[in-house]
Amino acid sequence: MIEILVVDGNAEHVLLVKKCLSNHYYVAVTVAEDGEQALLLLTSPDYRPNLILLELNLPRLHGHEVLRRIRRRNQTVPIVVLSGSRSQEDVSRAYAAGANMYAEKSWDPDAFRRTIQAIAQLWVTPLAAARAAHAT
């Protein structure tokens, strides 16, 4: 099973992400509603996600700081910043802090769904194929 950590305080977006991913992949989605909760989860030796989807505009601890702290501990887990921010400064800061990809959230549910499907094609499909290859 592929473990995905979604760090987002917007319950509606989290639900859409879960629906999109679980319809096409064998995944477990864990949700952290804020940056502090995400960092706490990631300190557990028993929790190692295969992919992190990170919103920047989080309560309690901004996504840029969460990203920096994750990268201090883990250089390998893919992190996709999935944010409503269209600021070029946010994009640049995210990549400078170690994001593997930056995708803009759309407020249109169909466009948001397509964005999640594209992220899944880029990140989840190869993980699933690698897992299947190791299982045989």
Q: Which domains does the chain have, with CATH numbers?
A: 2-128 (3.40.50.2300)
Task: Give yes or no for a contact between 56 and 83, defined as CB atoms under 8 angstroms apart.
Answer: yes
What pLDDT shows up at residue 131? 78
Half-sphere exposure of 33 (CA within 13 A, CB side): 5
What pLDDT shows up at residue 136? 66
Task: Write out pLDDT tens, residues 77-128.
Answer: 999 999 988 899 999 999 999 999 999 998 898 999 999 999 999 999 888 8
Q: Above 80 in pLDDT, residue 135? A: no
Q: What is the CA radius of gyration of the chain?
A: 14
Mean pLDDT of all residues in 40-54 = 95
Q: List residues bridging with 6 in a β-sheet.
A: 31, 53
Average pLDDT, the chain: 92
What pLDDT shows up at residue 31? 97
Strand ranges for 51-117 from DSSP E? 51-54, 79-83, 101-104
What pTM does this model have?
0.94
